[in-house]
Chains A and B, each alone.
Chain A
């Protein structure tokens, strides 16, 4: 295929990706160094209140935004350097808390709190989701072929459901005196409030995420199991391999590329954990990196969005995912170089 035809085929897609992915990245990068501020002026106003015989008049000083001739607020864009990053990271406070070995005051700082949750969440759900997927794939493959369709249908439901709704549906089981809470209270004979402290919420979030991605791993692994070489399995049996040894030395190595694939997708998706925070309304206790940026972008009571800080936290989030992906990219690059 000539390069020109290739460009014609790929062009529209490239254009969209450059315009809506690459360009925003550059603009986020530059925004994070600038702050928009409305210009204010202080004016003296005479305020009169009706009184007996004469009005009582006072002169007050008022601050009001400066307007241009169209009646719009004048906004000054100012270069602030790393200030927004400093405001997000609060390195001074963080270092102080860390050198005092005071973990809880370290976790008061939103960015570090979000980073801690995002990383632990990603790393804990990774083995759980893959384990659940593998277990399901192997058992379904072993037990029955007749009910395969129905089992896959039911398994796909948690995977396909809108993430916010999925999180909500689990929340409604536990909220207040929901049936799961009632059941746990009856079982453990104690009062339980699942949404009063951070760790129980985190537990529910972990459960939700494994419930949500386990099916994806299951379907991928199940498809992989259909291509396991039966001759290899039989020779392993002849050599006296036990069931576990066959799993460990024949089946798992066969599935390894798929496990890497699922792990990679899972890493990317879980690093941007966000919907759980919305679904469980956990912002008072637990927040994630992506939620932090979202929060900066949502208008506050005065209707202002702190775009500069959002950009700074967005850039920091991006740096995080790039660091997580570097090993993979290096491996791909090496493979590619070897192939040519």
Chain B
């Protein structure tokens, strides 16, 4: 159907709208793109006032660290095929090889293996191969684009950032699993009960959601530090000190996240017709059986979406983790504060930039894979108004 004339947009409006969108996309992506560019240059180039120098990095090239044209071409091709493999073949492989009912485990293993393969190809194999090729090509193989991975190496290997990465992994996995388990039960209960109690629980959760986290942490901190003494009468001699324990932080983050989780899951459960579980109940299921065998199988999209938001909360948190974890168990985001507070030399600063990019990269992948779920999650909360 052609658009009626009155509904057509005049050219001037169209042009200005397009310009606006282009400018917005530039503003939205630029800071993130820019820190990625900075992180692969030597400090002089990274903080050069001239943007051209930051992009091409003459000083970095002069130091003998750079990519030649064949490097770039082959690198981009390799990246493309790697991404295509991840998008097309990986899901099939996972569903074929993972044991029944443990698809999540299969995905975890696949993600780890893919990460390893990526590191192997792009850190070890390709540089070695390219060195040979560039040597053969002569002057055509001279570097044109400054590139150095030394800051990443300094951050991940010398400063042992992988420890923080593992801590982040532990905390986020814990938070996502526990908050989904507890949250789906509560969300289902709230969606299927029209009672006054359910209404008040939801309003209470709304108020809890608005509380600044520092208010709650002020409550935990003294208790956690002295927990060994407080818990002694109950648990005896081996009562733990909760301060610095990832498990305690997981419990805290799960609870802080509960209000949001149950609101969101409730609106997802609302969209599933109640006839479905009533039919199951008529066939002789208990409420729990109906929930487990009838509702959960159709709830996966909602659960994945809510899980993503739990992941984001746990992964992005600075306040709770920086106050409740000691240096040993620090996660990535608070650990970066150590870099930019130090910041004595420009090398430190570029290392901080590299650490920041390392933290952002998983989020970038996340948006790429789960964009649809994130959007549906943002709108699901809004459906009820």
Interface residues of B in 368-385 (CB under 8 A from A): 368, 371, 374-375, 378-379, 381-382, 385
Measured as residues with beta carbon below 8 angstroms from the partner, the interface class of chain A is: 35 or more
- Residue B61, interface by CB 8 Å: no
Interfacial chain B residues near A223, Cβ < 8 Å:
375, 378-379, 382
Q: Judge whether A169 is part of the interface by a CB distance below 8 angstroms.
A: yes
Q: Would you list which residues of chain A between 181 and 215 have a CB under 8 Å from chain B?
A: 181-182, 211, 215
The answer to whether residues A139 and B20 also contact, given A21-B211, A293-B212 and a CB cut-off of 8 A, is yes
Cβ–Cβ < 8 Å partners of B25 in chain A: 151, 154-155
Choose among A168, A179, A278, A290 the residue that contacts B212 (Cβ–Cβ < 8 A).
A290
Selected A-B contacts with CB under 8 Å, 7 pairs: A10-B198, A165-B360, A168-B356, A211-B28, A268-B210, A311-B219, A318-B212
B214/A274 in contact, CB under 8 A: yes
The stretch among B75-83, B90-98, B123-131, B184-192 that forms the contact with chain A is: B184-192
Q: Give complex CA distance A34, B223 in Å.
A: 14
Are A12 and B218 touching (Cβ within 8 A)? no
Q: Are B385 and A13 in contact (CB under 8 A)?
A: no
CB pair A16–B195 under 8 Å, yes or no, is no
Cα distance, A272 to B208, chains bound together (Å): 13
Q: What interface size band does chain B fall in?
A: 35 or more
* Given A10-B189, A260-B385, A307-B222, A3 and B212 contact (CB-CB distance below 8 Å): no
State which of A40-48, A86-94, A102-110, A156-164 sits at the interface with chain B. A156-164
Known contacts: A172-B38, A216-B378, A307-B222. The answer to whether A160 contacts B367 by CB under 8 A is yes
A residues apposed to B, CB below 8 Å: 1, 3, 5-6, 8-10, 12-14, 16-17, 19-28, 31, 135-136, 139-140, 142-144, 149, 151-158, 160-166, 168-170, 172-173, 176-179, 181-182, 211, 215-216, 219-220, 223-224, 233-234, 237, 243, 257-258, 260-262, 268, 271-272, 274-275, 278, 281, 289-291, 293-294, 296-298, 305, 307, 310-311, 314-315, 317-318, 321-322, 325, 329, 332, 336, 340
State how many angstroms separate the Cβ of B276 from the closest Cβ of chain A: 14
Residue pair A297, B218 in contact (C-beta under 8 Å): yes
CB–CB A258/B214 < 8 A: no
| Complex interface residues of chain B between 340 and 360 (CB less than 8 A to chain A) | 340-341, 349, 352-353, 356, 359-360
- Provided the pairs A27-B223, A160-B312, A318-B215 are in contact, do residues A13 and B193 lie with their beta carbons within 8 angstroms? no
Query: Which residues, 235 to 281 on B, are CB-close (under 8 Å) to A?
Result: 251-252, 254-256, 258-259, 262
Whole-angstrom distance between the alpha carbons of A118 and B195 in the complex?
38
Q: Is the CB of B219 within 8 A of A25?
A: yes
Q: For B256, what are the chain A residues with a Cβ–Cβ distance below 8 Å?
A: 20-21
Q: Which 7 pairs from chain A and chain B are nearest by CB?
A: A24-B219, A9-B189, A20-B255, A13-B186, A182-B49, A257-B385, A272-B212
The answer, yes or no, to whether B323 is at the interface (CB within 8 Å) is yes
A13 x B185 contact (CB < 8 A): yes
* Contacting residue for A321 out of B13, B199, B210, B291, CB 8 A: B210
| Inter-chain contacts of A176 with B (CB < 8 A) | 47
B315 within 8 A of A: yes
Quick check: B190 and A321 within 8 Å, CB to CB? no
Docked-complex contact A314 and B371, CB < 8 angstroms:
no
User: How far does the alpha carbon of A159 sit from the alpha carbon of B213 in the complex, in Å?
Assistant: 20
List the A side residues contacting B205 at CB < 8 Å.
Answer: 17
**Structural contact, B47 and A211, CB atoms closer than 8 A:** no
> Which of B29-37, B112-120, B142-150, B151-159 contacts the other chain?
B29-37
Beyond A28-B215, A152-B375, 12 extra complex contacts between A and B, CB < 8 Å: A8-B189, A9-B188, A31-B219, A142-B17, A152-B371, A164-B336, A168-B352, A178-B49, A223-B382, A243-B13, A274-B318, A317-B214
CB-nearest residue of chain B to A176: B47
Question: B281 CB to closest chain A CB, in angstroms?
Answer: 10
Bound: A10/B205 CA distance, A: 12
Answer whether residue B24 sits at the interface, using C-beta atoms and an 8 A cutoff: yes
Question: How far is A233 from B27 in the complex, measured between Cα atoms in Å?
Answer: 33
Q: Looking at the complex, which one of B21, B32, B217 makes contact with A161 (CB distance below 8 Å)?
A: B32
CB atoms of B212 and A321 under 8 A apart: yes
Interface string of B194-233 (1 = CB under 8 A from A): 0111110101110111111111111111110000000000
Known: A16-B254, A261-B381. A173 touches B215 (CB 8 A): no
Most chain-A Cβ atoms within 10 A of its Cβ — which of B4, B35, B255, B312?
B255
Bound together, the chains give a CA A315 to CA B215 distance in angstroms of: 7
* Contact A329 B203, CB 8 Å, known A149-B371, A153-B368: yes
For chain B, residues 1 to 22, give those with C-beta under 8 angstroms from any C-beta of chain A: 4, 6-7, 9, 13-14, 17-18, 20-21
- Structural contact, A1 and B385, CB atoms closer than 8 A: no
| Contact status B21-A151, CB under 8 Å | yes
Judged by a CB distance under 8 angstroms, whether B364 is at the interface is yes
Q: A143 contacts B14, CB within 8 Å? A: yes
Given the known interface contacts A151-B21, A257-B385, the answer about A317 and B336 at a Cβ–Cβ threshold of 8 Å is no
